[in-house]
Amino acid sequence: MPWFSVYHPSVISKPVIWFIQREWKYKNKPILVVLDPQGRVACPNAIHMMWIWGSAAFPFTSAREEALWKEETWRLELLVDGIDSEILNWIKDDKFIFLYGGNDPDWVRKFVREARRVAVASQINLEMVYVGKSNKSDQVQKVLDTISREKLPSHSWQEHSMIWFFWTRLESMLFSKIQLKQADDDSDLVMQEVKRLLSYDKMGGWIVLARGSRIIVNGHANTGLQTLMEYEDIWRVHAERDGFEPGFRDHYGKLHAVDNPCCRFEFSHAMGRIPEKLRCPECRRYMHMLTTFQCCHDETVDEAFLVSALAPPTI
């Protein structure tokens, strides 16, 4: 694949800059426009599919991007890719696996201990891994220090590059679907779960429970902790009769039905291509489009992508 570069932006003429900004929607974030041998645009921005699938996305065309999504299913390998080989070994051994994230050391401490207590009581083979948050790296480091200092029985990603890559891939999944105009397909389970996980991350924390490759629950941190804390008193009999997997899933579902806040997605104009409309992954209603001014000096804010809790509009 031949490529060319200019030694300084000043050599690019203004009409070319105008074309790139208007036609290719370039603003401040890097994009990767793919041209075919005839010079036609084969993909308006292939950077997202490169983060998700790497070289498997070659030749990085929109047709290839659509084909790759048709092959995907909602599974743990899609989330972790090859970031951590240890998790792939757990998947092969069909173990129960908790992926979890957040920036509250107290919640992490309680969650890890409750999960281990329930695992012993229910006699399941459980592994856990902390994968941080999409931003607030300083607070994530405090959690990593807590896990290490207190010797909490949980695996964690000490390298921030692994955490960064995990969240970059997740956000790329959403932007890839937006680019393909497929972000609001009600039948697309992968997209609905990705949007839900991204929203839970910005709402404070999240959990993903899987057995091997199969994801059982993709949920909010506090609801996941409450589910574990109520094991002995409420759903232990269900778990012993039908299995830990349906026991946890059903009780989490009951709690979530009572407390299920909707979401708000905020996209920086620097991203270039943003959706004209988007459905909430919880209530499935179309969201209101708003304009927000955010100071760029706030280092806790991800300039590219923000999500927070928001009550649904009354209709």
Contact 32, 3 (CB under 8 A): no
* d(C-alpha 310, C-alpha 288), whole Å: 11
Residues 54 and 177 in one domain: no
Domain assignment present for 282: no
Residues 30 and 148 in one domain: no
Residues 24 and 117 in one domain: no
Contact 13, 21 (CB under 8 A): no
Q: What is the reported pLDDT for 147?
A: 96
Assign residue 242 the CATH number of its domain. Answer: 3.40.30
Residues 87 and 219 in one domain: yes
Residues 111 and 239 in one domain: yes
Residues 170 and 84 in one domain: yes
Domain assignment present for 159: yes
Q: Write out pLDDT tens, residues 209-259.
A: 999 999 999 999 999 999 999 999 999 999 999 999 999 999 999 998 887
Residues 82 and 66 in one domain: no
* d(C-alpha 207, C-alpha 218), whole Å: 6
Domain assignment present for 275: no
Share of the chain above pLDDT 70, in %: 82
pLDDT band at 110 (very low <50, low <70, confident <90, very high): very high
* d(C-alpha 111, C-alpha 244), whole Å: 17
**Does 23 or 291 have the greater pLDDT score?**
23
Domain assignment present for 272: no
**Does 302 or 117 have the greater pLDDT score?**
117
pTM of structure: 0.83
Q: What is the reported pLDDT for 270?
A: 53
Mean residue pLDDT across the chain: 86
When divided into structural domains, the chain yields a total of: 2
3-state secondary structure 39-75: CCEEECCCHHHHHHHHHHHCCCCHHHHHHHHHHCCCE
Lowest mean pLDDT among 16-20, 49-53, 234-238, 284-288: 284-288
Q: Could you give the C-alpha distances from 224 to 72, 237, 254, 266, in angstroms and in order?
A: 26, 18, 11, 26
* d(C-alpha 278, C-alpha 177), whole Å: 11
Residues 228 and 95 in one domain: yes
Residues 28 and 138 in one domain: no
Contact 277, 243 (CB under 8 A): no
Q: What is the reported pLDDT for 204?
A: 83
Q: What is the reported pLDDT for 117?
A: 97
- Residue 161 belongs to domain spanning: 76-259
Q: Write out pLDDT tens, residues 163-180.
A: 999 999 999 999 999 899
